[in-house]
Amino acid sequence: MPFDAAAQVQARLPLVSRFRADPAAKSFDLLRTRLLHTLKARGWKRVAVTAPVAGCGTTFTAVNLALSLARVPDSRTVLMDMNFRRPGAAQALGMTAPGELAGFLSGQVQMEDQLLRPLPSLAVGLNSAADQDAAEILHGRSCAGVLEDMMLRLGADTALFDLPPVLEHDDTAALLPQVDGVLLIADGTRTTAAQLAACEKMLVGHTQMLGVVLNRARKTDSPLN
Ligand SMILES: Nc1ncnc2c1ncn2[C@@H]1O[C@H](COP(=O)(O)OP(=O)(O)OP(=O)(O)O)[C@@H](O)[C@H]1O
Ligand SMILES: [Mg+2]
């Protein structure tokens, strides 16, 4: 399925892959390269992307990072919108979700009927409707098996999971057994040290922290300026 250029213009989310010369695009490529180094060194593939609270830029980061990963030659990336509270990846990509992701994770819907392939190297699992029973879906018996099967059948090198905020829901905790590490998104304009510490406390011992991404950084925070 090709990207819908018209829909993308209307989408709220800026897709930096359309503006390759932008410093933000360079930042995502740098993040991609550093992430791939870590994943390869440790033999990891599955990364949860989350934030302390809503609106920090989790979807913005997950989508743009997935697009950056998808540009690596001979690689395969899958992006899953696991934020059942506020699904956002479909709108960010200007695409329409074929149905509810819960059906796929519970084993009722086939992978071919749920996942879309906007680029040859990128598969996306979008969600058409919010679902408040998210933690139950993620804890569900079939979820782990469905994700394992998906990774194998796609031959995926990297999987990104867009998740709800750590401090607001326990969905991220429910998915932790299925991921290798967590990328935490901090909003440079409002995330506090106390929030980051609270997230670390919640995650430590359950997963590996891959790093903290500073989103909405001020210009003076960037070494490129
Ligand atoms: N660095 C950025 N530059 C410009 N716009 C941004 C940036 N980061 C986020 N945004 C915009 O801010 C809004 C919120 O971002 P996003 O949807 O990624 O948040 P979120 O953390 O996924 O929120 P939620 O927890 O509700 O899912 C979006 O409209 C997005 O386009
Ligand atoms: Mg989001």
Strands (E), the chain: 46-50, 77-81, 115-119, 122-125, 158-162, 181-187, 208-215
pTM: 0.92
DSSP state of 27: H
Q: Quick check: is 15 in a domain?
A: no
Q: Which ligand is nearest to the CA of 85?
A: 1
Pocket of ligand 1 (CB under 6 A): 12-14, 51, 54-60, 83, 86, 88, 164-165, 215-216
**Among residues 60, 51, 54, 71, which one has the least CA distance to residue 158?**
71
Range of the domain at 147: 44-219
pLDDT tens digits, the chain, 225 residues: what are they?
A: 445 555 554 555 556 656 666 778 889 999 999 999 999 999 999 999 999 999 999 999 999 999 999 999 999 999 999 999 999 999 999 999 999 999 999 999 999 999 999 999 999 999 999 998 888 889 888 999 999 999 999 999 999 999 999 999 999 999 999 999 999 999 999 999 999 999 999 999 999 999 999 999 876 655 665
**Among residues 125, 144, 111, which one has the least CA distance to residue 83?**
125
Q: Quick check: is 207 in a domain?
A: yes
Number of domains in the chain: 1
Cα(154) to centroid(ligand 1), Å: 28
CATH code: domain of residue 190: 3.40.50.300
Q: Which ligand is nearest to the CA of 165?
A: 1
Cα(117) to centroid(ligand 2), Å: 20
Minimum-distance ligand 1 atom for the alpha carbon of 164: 25
